[in-house]
Structure 1
Amino acid sequence: MLEQTEDTIFRHDDWYGEELVDRHFVRCEFFQVDLTEAVTRGAVFTECTFGNTAFNSSRHVDSAFTRCVFKRCNLFEAEFVGCKLVGSSFFQCDLRPLRVSGGDWSFVSLPGADLRGVSLTDVRMREADLTGVDLTGAEVTGVDLSGAQLSGVRLSRADLRGSDLSALDPTTAQARDALIDAEQALMLAQALGFRLA
């Protein structure tokens, strides 16, 4: 059974290297909390707010951050494995180099985020707001981007193989030297109005 904490404000707490296992935080606020090298396993954060929180080199496994807000947080070298971040929003966060493997990030809001060189693999990002996101040189493989907002996205030199690009307008994206597979090439050609013989 999850140990639950509700409506609590954590301010200037030092949780460096802490292990948060099977904890549930509901509507909690974290301000200038140090979660550097912290590990969460099976932890759940619901409708929580993180402000100026350090997630540097933290690792999150099978945890959930649903409908959370991240403001000016540092996620340098943070890793999320099999995590659920449905409906969460990121504002003015340092997200590089971030690693996400598996999990569900649908409806996540990341407008204008600098995601150059990040690794996103086999993650669901349906209807995510990625407007103006810079994914230059990123690994975006096996990602479900169906219904995502991709206007003005930068994908130069990104590895996009196996990802759902059905929501991508190739006329508005910067995608020089991006790597795609044959099926994606066919879909993008059709989106540009080409007829295939």
Structure 2
Amino acid sequence: MAERRCGTAPPPADRTVHDRDWDTLDLDGHRHERTAFAEVDLTGATARGAVFRECTFRGVEFNTAELVDSAFLNCAFTRCSFFDASFTDCKLVGSVFDGGAFDLLKVDGGDWSLVGLPGADLRRASFTGVMMREVDLTGANCAGTTLHRVDLADAWLHGADLSRADLRGSDLSALDPLATTVRGALIDPEQAFTIAASLGLRLG
């Protein structure tokens, strides 16, 4: 399990949901707390206003799921698949991801602050207009990732690969270009000033 940067690990589950076929299930308004989901198929599931609090997900398939205005608070995801899944205005504060697949994952809006994604392969994922304050992207592969208008204040970016990433409009105040790969990344002029200042450069 990846180390949880902030907060505590989810407590032991009060109940377990194992090996269920919930593909295309409508999860609107579902409420789950301290529940462990193991090998559950949520392919194509939809959810609006669902809340999962202190839950664990192991080997769960979220492929092509469409999650809107839902919350996964202080949850843990281990070896889960998010192929072509979409999170719109969702809150994942304090959750942590260990392994898993994120190809074509789309995150639009919402709050992913204090989320742990160390070492994650996010090369084909996109994040737009998301709050990701203090997110842990240590060693993450974000080469070519879209991180557009993302609040990355106080993010952990050491060892992350942001080469060719679209970083326009994002808060890069936590970026150390000497400890992060940024070759070919797309930034705007204001961000260039921020990075120059972090290197101690003066613009004439």
Report the TM range for the smaller structure's normalisation: over 0.9
Query: Hey, what does 2:59 align to over in structure 1?
Result: 52
Per the TM alignment, residue 31 of structure 1 is displaced from its structure 2 partner at its CA by 0.3
1:10 aligns with 2:32: no
Which digits, 9 at most, give the CA deviation of each residue in 1:56-104, with x for residues without a partner?
Answer: 1111000000000000111111110000000000001111121000000
Alignment of 1:11-160 (within 5 A): 11-160=18-167
* Counterpart-to-counterpart distance in 2, 1:143 and 1:149: 14
User: Which residue of 148, 167, 175 maps to 2:174?
Assistant: 167
* Counterpart-to-counterpart distance in 1, 2:171 and 2:57: 30
1:180 aligns with 2:191: no
Which digits, 9 at most, give the CA deviation of each residue in 1:121-140, with x for residues without a partner?
Answer: 00000001110111111110
Q: 3-state DSSP class of the match of 2:97?
A: strand
TM-score normalized by structure 1?
0.96
* Counterpart-to-counterpart distance in 2, 1:119 and 1:127: 18
Per the TM alignment, residue 158 of structure 1 is displaced from its structure 2 partner at its CA by 0.7
CA contact (8 A) 2:112 2:131 kept: yes
Runs of 4+ in structure 1 off by over 6 angstroms are none
Q: 3-state DSSP class of the match of 2:123?
A: coil
The one-letter code matched in structure 1 to 2:193 is L
TM-score normalized by structure 2?
0.92
Which digits, 9 at most, give the CA deviation of each residue in 1:154-181, with x for residues without a partner?
Answer: 1111110000000010111111111000
Provide structure 1 residue ranges, at least 5 long, that are not aligned to the other structure: 1-5
Identity of aligned residues (%): 53
* Counterpart-to-counterpart distance in 1, 2:164 and 2:177: 15
* Counterpart-to-counterpart distance in 1, 2:125 and 2:73: 21
* Counterpart-to-counterpart distance in 2, 1:171 and 1:123: 25
Provide structure 2 residue ranges, at least 5 long, that are not aligned to the other structure: 1-12
